[in-house]
C-alpha cells in the first residue's frame, strides 16, 4: 500500500481543472473559427466570488493546455471586484462576501450583479 499526498485540496483543484478544460475547448473552437494556430496569452476575468483559487488555476491551466492550441500559453488573470445591488436604496456597491448587507440601509442580502463570473477577456494569438 502507498500513500498519495496532494499539495492542495484535490476537490478544489478538480473545479479549476474542469474550468480550464472548458477554456481549452472554447479556444479550440475559436482557433478554427478565426483561423489561428496558437494562443500565446490568455486573459481571464475572475470575479472575487467565483470560487476560483489563483494558484490552483495556474496549475490546472498548465495541465489542461498540454497538446492543445494553447500549449505553453501565458495565463493572465484579472480579478474583478464583486458588486452588489441593494433593492432597499437602489445603490450599487462593492461587496467582499456573498452575504454582505447594504452599507447604507443594512438591507440584506444584496443582489450580486458582478463578481461571480469567470470569462475569457481576450486572447493573444498567432
Ligand atoms: Zn441599501
- Cα of 46 to ligand 1 centre, how many Å? 26
**Cα atoms in the Cβ-side hemisphere of radius 13 Å centred on 67:** 3
Pick among 3.30.2320.80, 3.40.30.10, 3.40.50.150, 3.40.50.300: CATH of 10-125: 3.30.2320.80
Cβ pair 72, 65 in contact under 8 A = yes
Which pLDDT score is estimated for 9?
67
Looking up cell 492542495, which residue turns up? Answer: 8
Q: Is 117 left (phi over 0), alpha (psi -120 to 50) or beta?
A: beta
- Cα of 20 to ligand 1 centre, how many Å? 37
Cβ pair 123, 33 in contact under 8 A = no
- Cα of 108 to ligand 1 centre, how many Å? 8
- Cα of 8 to ligand 1 centre, how many Å? 38
How confident is the model over 23-51, as pLDDT tens digits? 999 999 999 999 999 999 999 999 999 98
Query: In the structure, what pLDDT confidence band is assigned to residue 62 with cuts at 50, 70 and 90?
Result: very high
Which pLDDT score is estimated for 7?
62
- Cα of 36 to ligand 1 centre, how many Å? 48
- Cα of 90 to ligand 1 centre, how many Å? 6
**Cα atoms in the Cβ-side hemisphere of radius 13 Å centred on 120:** 17
Which pLDDT score is estimated for 114?
94
- Cα of 64 to ligand 1 centre, how many Å? 42
- Cα of 25 to ligand 1 centre, how many Å? 41
Q: Say whether pTM exceeds 0.85.
A: no
C-alpha closest to that of 108 among 78, 85, 81: 85
Give the start-to-end residue ranges of the domains of the chain.
Answer: 10-125
Q: What number of other Cβ atoms are within 10 A of residue 28's Cβ? A: 14
Amino acid at each position: 500500500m502507498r500513500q498519495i499526498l496532494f499539495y492542495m485540496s484535490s476537490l478544489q483543484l478538480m473545479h479549476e481543472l474542469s474550468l480550464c478544460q472548458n477554456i481549452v475547448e472554447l479556444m479550440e473552437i475559436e482557433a478554427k473559427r478565426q483561423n489561428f494556430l496558437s494562443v500565446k496569452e490568455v486573459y481571464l476575468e475572475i470575479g472575487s466570488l467565483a470560487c476560483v483559487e489563483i494558484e490552483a488555476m495556474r496549475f490546472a491551466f498548465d495541465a489542461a493546455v498540454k497538446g492543445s492550441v494553447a500549449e505553453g500559453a501565458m495565463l493572465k488573470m484579472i480579478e474583478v471586484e464583486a458588486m452588489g445591488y441593494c433593492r432597499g436604496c437602489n445603490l450599487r456597491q462593492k461587496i467582499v462576501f456573498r452575504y454582505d448587507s447594504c452599507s447604507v440601509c443594512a438591507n440584506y442580502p444584496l443582489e450580486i450583479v458582478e463578481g461571480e463570473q469567470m470569462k475569457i477577456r481576450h486572447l493573444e494569438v498567432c
